[in-house]
Chains A and B, each alone.
Chain A
Amino acid sequence: MEDGPRERTADGAIVFENLTKSFGEIEAVKGVTLSIPKGQICGYLGPNGAGKTTTVKMATGMLEPTAGRAIVEGFDIVKEPLEAKRVIGVVPETGALYATLTPNEYLALVGRLYHLDRDETDEKTHTFLKLFGIADVADRLMTTFSRGMKQKVLISAALLPNPSVLFLDEPLSGLDANTALVLKELLRDLASQGRTIFYCSHILEVVEKVCDRVVILVGGEVIADGKVEELKDMTHQGSLEDVFSELTSSENLAEIVRAFSRSITGDGGA
């Protein structure tokens, strides 16, 4: 349903050129080409296994592309990894952190890795954790933390070095409704300050409200790229959820639901 590639800006904060990743015989990402200008929030959507997280991993230097390249703030992530990584903040989908450290210790480690002044790190750490409502557990090991609490620490770690580009992979995972609201507003605020945000999510309502632009990936390929309203007009649908369903589902969703229901009750499977 793609109406041709959008006009690319040569000086995008994030640029993917024919970005490709193969795992053996499986081609997870197939020649993705995008240019995301400074200050834009780009939603990156797709069904499970579409290649979203693989794209983020390539863009953040965690996976080397099989072909093509990713450029962040003018730095090629493969050729100039340290320079590129210094300007990005990442909230990974895995939620990985060293759980046997405390939030204070973990954020201090992150601060040191980015050469932040120790006082600045302490001050920011205290502020972030307080705003997220977890300041009282700042000296407790994170082994006891819920997913949401760990997510708050991860978001704090991503924001700590004041990055100009943010890669967020399911950032609302585990967050309570109030924190999710705060984060959505925060993202808009950060974008208005000129920060570029690459936002992977399955929560379409949030993407619809927060993102300036939406890219839909299916089977490793970009099948749609545009503003939410443009995509709605193009598909003649009323919401991003409907647009997504129209573009990514080859089967009748109502029939799938009925088949599931029959299977659960034992009246015959799909």
Chain B
Amino acid sequence: MHIKVLGPGCANCVNLEKNTRAALASLGMEASVEKVTDYADIAGYGIMRTPGLVVDEQVVLSGRVAKPAEIAQLLAGR
């Protein structure tokens, strides 16, 4: 599984990455987490409000920092 955290580096993006790693840990899953900070790339995913979360090239969340439990749900369903 390949996860991308989209955001130019503001506090929200950092928090989303942290929560994503916590969700992965709680599920006992292994995945690569990549940060995407380039605006053209972010916009390319159709995201207009950062932060965004992309799992295997599918946008699963945008515009807010979800709690680890919610992210775990999103990840477990894949």
- Real complex partners, A and B? no
